[in-house]
Chain A
Amino acid sequence: MRSRPANIDPQIEQLMLTRSYAQLTEEEIRLLEDKFSPAYYDATRKTLLAATDMFARDLPLPSPKVKANLLKVLATQKEKSVNSNWWSTLLNYPVPAWQPALTVSLVVLYFFIPWTETPNVNEKDLLAAQETDTTYESAPGYLAAAVPVTTVPVRRKNVGPVSADLHQKNTILDTLQGVAQTIQRTFRPAAEVLSVPAMQLSNSTFAANDSAEVRPKTMEEYFIDPANIMAVQDQSRRLVSF
């Protein structure tokens, strides 16, 4: 039984295109022996030659309209290309990967890390407050009176419950105002019943915490010493003139 080829070998294909079975050499016939009979070889060769001949002769040409249409499409494509060119240049700009990565990381950190405000208090502010407290505490001259402990402080400024006021510094004007009020209280007639403050509160939280030093005075402590009054007067004059 003759075995038939399952495929066309390019070498046999070449033989078919160039020579008939009668023109083949013995060696070439041996190559075909198991694959093609003489008649089958020639029939296939005939088909192959006819096909290639037909392909070579039948050469239709495309319509010129095709190219004209394509040129219109090309013009549109060019416009698109120009419009998107600067965008693509920007987006395709060769940037090392770490730069955009770092930028994104910083932006993320900025927005997502819960920043806490640190209190704006430094050592100078603390000292100033303490010194101010000391000044007020050392100022004598309170009148003897039946004063309730829960009196309202003379100076409200910077003593309110709003935390933002707690860190404000005393100004010279504040000090002068305090001194003037002290003088006013000092020379008020003793017979007059007053609801004056029994103490001068500080204008800072530090002083407020220092309540041991500014506790309300007892009646005995409100003894008026004329020497102290004179001293306060002198001090007040100096401050006012300053």
Chain B
Amino acid sequence: MINLLKNYKKYSDEKLVPLVVKGNERAFNELYSRYEKKMYRFFYRMLNRDTERANDLLQDLFIKIIEKGDRFDTDRKFSTWLYAVAGNLCKNEYRRVERLTNNQEKMITDVRPGPDNEMDFYLPNAIDRSLFTTRLTNALEELEDIHRTCFILRYQEELSIKEISEVMDCPEGTVKSRLYYALRKLSDKLQVFRPEAVKEMNYEKQTG
């Protein structure tokens, strides 16, 4: 009876995990509600917007929490651990199928940039905006795994540099460097939308 009255919303993630491992449904519901969307979107983005695989990996991730959550070191931050496990699931998925490459090729051929290279991102033109977003999405999917993971964790999941370094098990300087190269590559791929930047970046490439 006392157990039913517990308000798990006040519990930290780290306190909820042992309860979930014991099969506590209310603790599980609370933990799931906190992370289902975040983790689903992370998988969705990492798996090139494949909703089916994203659902599968989300399920696999929470099964790992239920069955092997006792391996989680409660001294660590749960979210960091969760993203690390999710990242590993993505890596396994990449290895299992070569869907990423195939999808990238398919998506690139689907997208055709508009004839107007001078279009401005800030113009309230819905079609242009949509085209730019599509191109950006494709460019993001073309990034290397480590750069894409870093970029998504930073700008979609909004983790700090320190948290990303823990998730990816690398120094903070490496994270900053990866973010820089991710942004640079994305900008390179989107240079058709900004000709004056193209000239500048081409110049930097030659001199750099």
Report A's interface with B, CB cutoff 8 A: 1-2, 4-10, 13, 37, 39-40, 42-44, 46-55, 57, 59-63, 65-67, 69-71, 73-75, 77-82
Contact = CB atoms under 8 A, between A and B. Distances in A.
B204 A4 contact: yes
A5 B186 contact: no
B11 interface: no
B180 A2 contact: no
A60 B62 contact: no
Interface string B87-111: 0000000000000000000000000
Contacts of B137: 54
B21 interface: yes
Closest 6 CB pairs of A and B: A78-B23, A43-B197, A7-B176, A39-B200, A62-B40, A55-B156
B204 A8 contact: no
A73 B66 contact: yes
Given A47-B187, A59-B41, A63-B55, A7 B62 contact: no
Interface string B9-47: 000000000001111110010001000110011001100
Given A8-B180, A55-B155, A67-B36, 15 more contacts: A7-B173, A39-B197, A46-B121, A47-B136, A50-B121, A52-B155, A59-B37, A62-B40, A62-B55, A62-B58, A70-B62, A70-B63, A71-B25, A71-B28, A81-B23
The B interface, classified by DSSP as helix, strand, loop or mixed, is helix
Given A39-B200, A47-B190, A77 B32 contact: no
Given A54-B136, A55-B156, A70-B66, A6 B177 contact: yes
Given A7-B180, A51-B136, A65-B55, A40 B25 contact: no
Nearest to B200: A39
A39 B194 CA distance: 9
Contact of A10 (B58, B67, B161): B161
A4 B179 CA distance: 14
Contacts of A71: 25, 28
A186 to B, nearest CB: 94
A53 to B, nearest CB: 8
Contact of B196 (A39, A47, A49): A39
B183 interface: yes
A44 B180 CA distance: 10
A77 B41 contact: no
A60 B132 CA distance: 19
